[in-house]
Amino acid sequence: MAATPDVGFARSRRASLIGAVFLMATSAVGPGFITQTATFTATMGAAFAFGILASILIDLVVQLNIWRVVTVTGLRAPEIANAALPGSGYLLAILIIVGGLTFNVGNIAGAGLGLNALMGLDTTWGGLISAVIAAGIFSSRRAGIAIDRIIVVLGVLMMAMTVFVALASNPPVGEALRQTVMPDTINFATITTIVGGTVGGYITYAGAHRLLDSGLGGVDNVDTVSKAALRGILVTGVMRYILFLAILGVVASGVVIDVSSQSANPAAQAFQAAAGEMGLRAFGLILWAAGITSIIGAAYTSMSFMSAFRPGISEGVRNRATLVFIAITLIAFMSVGTPPAALLVFVGGFNGLILPVGLTLFVYVAWRRADLMHGHRYPRWLLVAGAVVCALTWYMGFNAIGPIFAFLTPSA
């Protein structure tokens, strides 16, 4: 029996929501976050638990506000920014594209680290091969569909492996829980970096824009969208904390993790220490797949902001621009002398510095531009939380500028 129109619409809407949440989740737990978590856990120990909690809470407020404003207004981020403050949409687009460039240099580095762990390949050659493969996948619709399905399987494998490593490494859970709320030290650079690696730059808008493309804009859809965003953030939050515990157990056992040399691959070292050679190879495959999809996602989403300067840009032109974007980031990756792991940490921090600009504009629209919100009654608690997080991201960013750029020149 054929599905009724209402059933078909419900299925289509559910698929669109799952797609948007999956895009957000895979972006939030990508090669950058994995490497950043391993690096900061190795250097800070259990005290980094507070950074994980802070990043989850900040991500929650950022995503709920931005997804709600995009859904209610039915506009893309640059259009919302220009409506809030004429000309600011162009600034936001430039920042997102520049942030996407840095993100993609890190994504290529992450894919290179993945092939290094999987096959022992030099990270520079691994990055080059991965960028070429990513461009090929993007150019082939059939290959793109295949990689989408493969990454779901690899994502499930990663979750299972992380849980296994967390159990095998026997982390000091009590100490981690204590320092989650009462840390021995608070490092604004690490929090800004982790936040930037999960909702900074293009990531903030990727899922929201996908919802618009799926026809889920408008006040009628806001509750459904918000619930989907909440579920996605909570799932990725749990995943982040388990990853932290897995690496903390390895660090607490006395294993010294290299975080700064040219060949450093902190997360791979942790998985190898806990799960042996097979753990290392499986982790390499997962990190490489995450890197490949992130290269494509960062390039395509960043180039979608070109519409701020050229409304009505054709799909063909944008696709060609995406391939050029990948090529530019590949050249940058091969030219810069910073170790791949340090690059992945830096790009998260850099995009964390960009985050407050867009968030400020969106919070302003939520507070003051009722004309754009079509009479929608914005939750007061979300408005207040958005304003508080906005101020907090500006404060953290100001205090973290120096330490974040120091990641580009790590000690030998």
Name the average pLDDT for the chain: 84
Instruction: Indicate whether 9 pLDDT > 90.
Output: no
The CATH number of whichever domain residue 250 belongs to comes to 1.20.1740.10
Whether 4 is in a domain gets the answer: no
The pLDDT of residue 16: 56
CB contact set of 316 (below 8 Å; sequence gap of 6+): none
The pLDDT of residue 412: 46
Whether 272 is in a domain gets the answer: yes
Confidence grade of residue 410 (pLDDT, cut at 50, 70, 90): low
The structural domain count of the chain equals 1
User: Which residue shows structure tokens 């753990």?
Assistant: 279
Burial 145-180 (b: 16+ CB within 10 A, else e): eebeeebeebbeebbebbeebbebbebbeebbeebb
Whether 233 is in a domain gets the answer: yes
The average pLDDT across 321-334 equals: 92
Whether 35 is in a domain gets the answer: yes
Instruction: Indicate whether 276 pLDDT > 80.
Output: yes
Whether 2 is in a domain gets the answer: no
Domain that holds residue 396: 19-408
Whether 66 is in a domain gets the answer: yes
The pLDDT of residue 44: 92
**Cα torsion 79, 80, 81, 82: sign:** positive
Measured CA to CA, the distance from residue 347 to residue 102 in angstroms comes to 6
Whether 9 is in a domain gets the answer: no
Q: How distant, in Å, are the alpha carbons of 119, 132, 271, 300, 323 from that of 331? A: 23, 12, 30, 18, 13
Measured CA to CA, the distance from residue 372 to residue 370 in angstroms comes to 5
**Cα torsion 171, 175, 181, 185: sign:** negative
Measured CA to CA, the distance from residue 321 to residue 49 in angstroms comes to 40
The average pLDDT across 229-252 equals: 85
Please answer whether residues 239 and 26 qualify as being in contact, where contact means their C-beta atoms are separated by less than 8 angstroms: no
Higher-pLDDT residue of 2, 168: 168
Please answer whether residues 299 and 108 qualify as being in contact, where contact means their C-beta atoms are separated by less than 8 angstroms: no
Whether 313 is in a domain gets the answer: yes
pTM, full prediction: 0.84
